Structure formats: C-alpha cells, structure tokens
Amino acid sequence: MESKDPETEIHPLKNEEGKAAAAEGKGTAAPGAGGLPRKAGRLSRWRTAAFFLSLFLCLLVVFAFSFIIPCPVRPVSQKTWSRSYDNAATYPFLALADVDGDGVQDVLFAFQAAAGHLDHHRRSFNSSCPEAGLASPCAFVAAHSGTNGSTLWERPVGEDLLLMDCTLELTNTPACLLIGKPDFLAALDRRTGQAVWQQVVDFGTNSTILSPLLKVPDINKDGVSDLLFFTSTGGKVTFLFCSGSDGRPIGASKVLHLPGCRGHLLHLTKSGALYVLFYSVTTVYAYSVEELFHMVLEDHHSTALKEDPHWELTIDRTTHQLSFLSTGEILSLAEVAKKAGASLLVARSGMLELVDGQRLGSMWVTDIPHIWREPVLGSFYPDEVDVLIESQVSPTRKKVLMVEGASGDIEWEVELLSQEDNPRAATLATADHRSAFLFWGLYPENTNGTGSSEEPRPWQPQKLYLFHPSLPNVLLEMSNSSEAIVAFEGVLFEHSRHACYVLLTGPQAGSPPGNVGLLKRKLKEDVASSRVIWLSRLAQDSDQNIRDRFYRMRYRSLR
C-alpha cells in the first residue's frame, strides 16, 4: 500500500504550491505538466483571432449594406396637391391604384376635352382627339402620381365613356376595363395606359350599361378569367360573356325579362356557386352564372361553374324571384364582406334589412324613414361591420346614422343641412379596429343637432366632417368646397399610413365644359385647422385636446 506524507494529506493545496515553486526555481518542468499551458495558450490565441475575424466580417456586411448597396428610396409624398383641366368635363369614375410601382397609391380618372393636358415635351403622337381618329371633344383617361400629382400617362380612348373599372387583373396585367362609344370594350394596361386589347361590341341602340362589370371563372378554358356585363333597354336586360384574354364575345348575347332593373351584384355562396342578384324597384331576382352560361351555349358545360342546392330550392323557378321580409322601394343591394356566403344588406326607402347570404333568411330589419342613398360600410365597434346611413329629413336636411351590423340598432346620429350634390360618405380603417367616417353637409349653427329652422343658402359651401366612434360627442368640421363634387374617396396612399381624401370637381360630361379639378389632401392638414363641434360638452376636454387626439390617430390597411 502506497504511503502518503501526513503533511500532504492535511494541506494538499499548500503542498502543490510548494512543488510548483520548486519547479519554477529549477527552471524546468515535468514533461506532461509543462505542455498543457503552452497548448492552452495557443488555443486561446486561435479563439481570439476567430472572434475578431467574425466581428470584422459582421462589420463588413453592415457597412456594405449601409454605404455600398443603396437602400430603396422611400417616395416623399406631398401633403396636398391639385391639378386643373381647363375647358373640360369629367366623368364620375375615380380609381386608386399603384400605377408606377413606388408603393404609393396613384389616381386614375376620366375627362372629356378636345386635347390632352400633357406639356409639349411629354405628348404622345395621339394626344388630341383628331390625332387619335376621334371627333372632338373625346374621352381621355389619365393617371396622376399619388406623391406629387404629376401626370404618369394620359390617352384618348373614345368619343364617349360609359363605364370604367380599374379593379381587375387580366392575363397577369393590372388593367382598366372601359366601355364607351362608338361601341367598344377595351382593356388598358394600368401601368402604361397602352391598350391590352380592344373589341367592337354592339350594345344596342338606347341601351344603358349596368355597373359593375363582373369577373367570372375561366369558362372558355384559355387560362384567363372571363367577363360578364349587362345592358338595360326598357324592361329587358341583355347579357354577354367576353374573353378576359382578348375581349372577344363568348357565344351570343341573351335577354332576361327583368322589368325596372336598377342594378346587380355577384354573390358567392359557401358551396362555391356564383349567382347574379338583380334588383328592381320592389323585387330581387337570382340567376346562377352556370344557368346564364348554359343559356348562351346550350351544348357546352363549364367545369368552373356550379349551382347551390339550397339556393335552387329557395329561388322561384318561374320568376327567379327571392323573397325577403322587408318591403318598399329597393335602393341598393350589397354584400357586407368579400367572402363566400357573406350577408346581404338590402336598403329600401323606409327600412334596412340584413339577410343571411347562405340560407337567405332575414337576420334583422330596422325602420329608417326616407333612406337617401346607398349605405357605407365601416366599423363603429371594434372588428364589426357596421353601416352608415343617410336619411332625408326634408328637402334641405338629412340625418347621418350609425347602425350596428350585429343587431340593426341605431347607435349614433346627427342632423345636418344638406344639398342635392352632397357626395357619398367614405370610411378609413383605424388602428383600434374601428373606422373614421367622412361625410359632407353643413352643421346648423343655432341647434344642438336635433332640429332647427335654419336652411342652407345656395351659395353656402358644403363642408367635410370627420367622426370617430371613440369620440361620439364630437364632430370635426374640416375643409369646404363650393364646387360641384363629382367623386370623393378616402384612401390610405401608403400601407397603413398617409390618410388622405381625393376630390374630383367640375362639370360632368354632357354639360358645357369648364374647369375640372383633381385634389388630394392629407387628413392631418385639415385636422390641425379644423373646428371642433361639441354634440355634448365634456368639461375636462378642450378643443385643442380633441384636435390632438384626431391628429395622433393611426390608420391601418385592410389588405
């Protein structure tokens, strides 16, 4: 058995220190003990070198992206801009889309004039009506930059324009679809204004084009979604399918007997079946797109189309009518969401009804006398779809009401002086999952909003009001316009930011020409100088505090 030094057992560390000191005094070390520190030192130096090399590479990448590789330049948008067209008239078509690919929404609209309004250096060879082979004046379509209002492109399209829809995409090309005179159907590339295709289509004498154009599944099997449009003459509605790839008609046009048809809506059921809902003064009719296609081409069957069994049982097979609980003159028919089986909102002259979009049963009916125009959808409560209604109180007065989408209850209202040419209201989604509501009128000065003998004067400008449900006791009175407003839109020019409104003013086509104005204005500019209207006063709030809250409001894009 190995003997141990008693001192070592009692003080092991002290003994090791002594041995180390002795070895150091001799200047030599045991072979095993002396090699380990040298290896550890070399390993430590390699680790340090690797660390600094990694750090250098990281800094090199950072500097490369910061200084060598240029970052994308974010466009600087002007807070407000305006463009003027002299000796012109305009159409009630206003579209917002990113034309030049800079991430900012641009403005497309149509006007009627003898020549375009581009400067001499930017004019194309067909910048006037005669150069395009058209009688003067003719219809032009123009695109203006959302950042500064500069003209991106402009071109004459026809003698007159009956319909413009810039929401569709054909053959992977963002397009504006146009219907005009002489009878033509055309698609323009939204990015350049150049024609993708154009076809001569006979719409019939004295016929009215029914809006909107409908995009339907690919029924001619060429890989591109196709088009369906309707015209009305007397009590007859004519429909025609056209190819989305080149605009050629698919089959011949057919006629539906729908007396007094006012409009139509394309509805998708939960089973994936497409139906066109037509509404007249008192009746709603329903036709499946599959049935319409079979009427055009009896011997052909499209696998892209089908019918919904429940809807087929509900539709009257003789008259194609749908029955709802509400009665009275139908003003509009709309979906409350863009999804399969979305609920249907039926606005009549004296009541509002929400209908289940799949089972077609009534969900609620609310009495609202003298509904004036098509409802506007927004969110009074977070993450709900609620409804703004304008109802006429007298020839010079209206009520603006907020109707809860879930129950049909009226949650808020205000009375305003109004004029016949007050444009339709608009909404902007806010970051708190509600909506800011924009509407026109004139708040009576000598009333609390419930009644007054004050009447609007013909020369009084109409004013724009901003309302948000988080401040139900307050209206912001913002800008005013003494011009005839042809179109009005609220829009976020960039994703979830740059909340603005766009105004199109001037004489409409068919009237004597004059000055056509296109205006973009940032909401914050108007909020800063707005007038606060207290519907009910709260002692702890000041006017400036209210302006500050609206000024700090954040917005969000819904797509």
Task: Find the mean pLDDT for residues 336-340.
Answer: 94
211-267 pLDDT tens trace? 999 999 998 888 889 999 999 988 899 999 999 999 999 999 999 999 889 999 999
- Secondary structure (DSSP) of 412-462: EEEEEE--TTPPPPEEEEBTTSSEEEEEEEB--TTSSSS--S----TTPPE
Residue with tokens 């809860």: 404
Q: What is d(CA 382, CA 83) in angstroms, rounded to the nearest whole number?
A: 37
477-510 pLDDT tens trace? 998 888 889 999 999 999 999 999 999 999 999 8
Count CB-CB contacts under 10 A for residue 67. Answer: 8
Contact 278, 261 (CB under 8 A): yes
The contacts of residue 427 (CB under 8 Å, 6+ apart) are 376, 377, 378, 379, 388, 435, 436, 437, 438, 490
Q: What is d(CA 62, CA 540) in angstroms, rounded to the nearest whole number?
A: 51
Closest of 472, 350, 329, 485 to residue 418, by C-alpha: 485
Per-residue confidence (pLDDT) for residue 2, from 0 to 100 = 46
Closest of 3, 47, 112 to residue 506, by C-alpha: 112
Residue 390, class by beta-carbon neighbours within 10 Å (0-12 exposed, 13-18 middle, 19+ buried)? buried
CATH for 76-199 is 2.40.10.480
**Cα 35 to the chain's mean position, in Å?**
75
DSSP-derived secondary structure letter, 130: G
Q: Please state the φ and ψ torsions of residue 88, each to the nearest 5 degrees.
A: -140, 170
379-434 pLDDT tens trace? 999 999 999 999 999 989 999 999 999 999 999 999 999 987 789 999 999 999 99
Per-residue confidence (pLDDT) for residue 427, from 0 to 100 = 98
Domain ranges for the chain, please list them. 76-199, 201-367
Residue 88 has which token pair?
Answer: 């012109």
Per-residue confidence (pLDDT) for residue 452, from 0 to 100 = 47
Q: Please state the φ and ψ torsions of residue 55, each to the nearest 5 degrees.
A: -60, -40
DSSP-derived secondary structure letter, 11: -
Res. 168: pLDDT tops 90:
no
Q: What is d(CA 239, CA 254) in angstroms, rounded to the nearest whole number?
A: 6
- Secondary structure (DSSP) of 248-303: -EEEEEEEEE-TT--EEEEEE-TTS-EEEEEE-SS-EEEEEHHHHHHHH-TT---T
Sheet holding 263-268, edge to edge: 263-268, 274-279, 284-288, 321-322
Task: Find the mean pLDDT for residues 54-67.
Answer: 79
Closest of 492, 544, 527 to residue 104, by C-alpha: 492
Instruction: Name the amino acid, one letter, at 342.
Output: A
Residue 294, class by beta-carbon neighbours within 10 Å (0-12 exposed, 13-18 middle, 19+ buried)? middle
119-154 pLDDT tens trace? 544 544 457 899 889 999 999 999 999 999 999 999
Q: What is d(CA 135, CA 131) in angstroms, rounded to the nearest whole number?
A: 10
DSSP-derived secondary structure letter, 512: P
Q: Enter the pTM of the model.
A: 0.84
The CB-side HSE value for 359 (13 A sphere, CA atoms) comes to: 4
Q: What is d(CA 415, CA 452) in angstroms, rounded to the nearest whole number?
A: 10
Q: What is d(CA 283, CA 554) in angstroms, rounded to the nearest whole number?
A: 42
Q: What is d(CA 481, CA 504) in angstroms, rounded to the nearest whole number?
A: 11
Sheet holding 462-467, edge to edge: 426-429, 435-441, 462-467, 474-481, 531-534
**Cα 334 to the chain's mean position, in Å?**
16
Res. 71: pLDDT tops 70:
no
Share of residues in the chain with pLDDT > 70 (%): 86
194-205 pLDDT tens trace? 999 999 988 877
Q: What is d(CA 267, CA 295) in angstroms, rounded to the nearest whole number?
A: 19
pLDDT tier at 31, thresholds 50, 70, 90: very low
